[in-house]
Amino acid sequence: MKEFPCQLYLISPPDVGGDFPQTLESALSAGPVAAFQFRVKDLDQHEAAALAEPLQAICAAHDVAFIVNDSVALAKRLKADGVHLGQGDGDVREARELLGPDAQIGVTCHNSRHLAMEAAEAGADYVAFGAFFPTTTKNVDHVAELDTVQKWSFITEVPCVAIGGITPENAKPLIDAGADFLAVSGAVWSHPQGPAEAVKAFNALLA
């Protein structure tokens, strides 16, 4: 048995301006969330930092880890809790050197336990497998299989995140397979009853 139950890991929508801080506050108030990943594209670091700071404060108030996607430099500037690296976004060891021993460093590993093992050996705190289901949040070049999560959770204690089109309706097999975190974006921010209801639905499943 795993020491900890599966937990929720929220990924930001592409647009985090406007009233998104209130939306995030509502989602984090609705139930336990382990982490929030700040994922915005095509902004310079100053713009990104300005958008990130209020969201980071909300996460801190709810004891939710604030993770920056792709950019080690932005994570360092914000003193974020960690960084999530894609396969082309830099080296885990270099990120560790820049961000320090306490930073949470995650790595996208698609459907490859080989890539995950390399990331773990380099010192990653978690690995992410996906996409498990069709998603509109980003282009899917890699489809992941349940078997990858099952085998990974059986052979190693390095936590794994399942990502890609996950909803309260399709998540149970991933939880049963041993995923440590469910990374979700569209299923929360686009939920017809609002993000708070989505967080409640996921947590009912995870309880």
Residue 2 inside a domain? The answer is no
Distant-in-sequence, close-in-space partners of 111: CB < 8 Å, separation ≥ 6: 129, 142, 143, 144, 145, 148
Six-digit token pair at 200? 């409640």
Residue 1 inside a domain? The answer is no
Per-residue pLDDT tens over the stretch 162-200: 999 999 999 999 999 999 999 999 999 999 999 999 999
Instruction: Write down the pLDDT at residue 47.
Output: 97
Residue 131 inside a domain? The answer is yes
Strand, coil or helix: what is 105?
strand
Per-residue pLDDT tens over the stretch 127-156: 999 999 987 766 767 889 999 999 999 999
pLDDT band at 115 (very low <50, low <70, confident <90, very high): very high
Instruction: Write down the pLDDT at residue 134.
Output: 87
Instruction: Write down the pLDDT at residue 37.
Output: 98
pTM (2 d.p.)? 0.96
For 27, the domain range is 7-206
Residue 150 inside a domain? The answer is yes
Total domains present in the chain = 1
Q: β-pairing, 82-85 with 65-69?
A: parallel
**d(C-alpha 98, C-alpha 65), whole Å:** 18
The domain spanning residue 151 has which CATH number? 3.20.20.70
Residue 43 inside a domain? The answer is yes
**d(C-alpha 71, C-alpha 75), whole Å:** 6
Residue 91 inside a domain? The answer is yes
Per-residue pLDDT tens over the stretch 17-71: 999 999 999 999 999 999 999 999 999 999 999 999 999 999 999 999 999 999 9
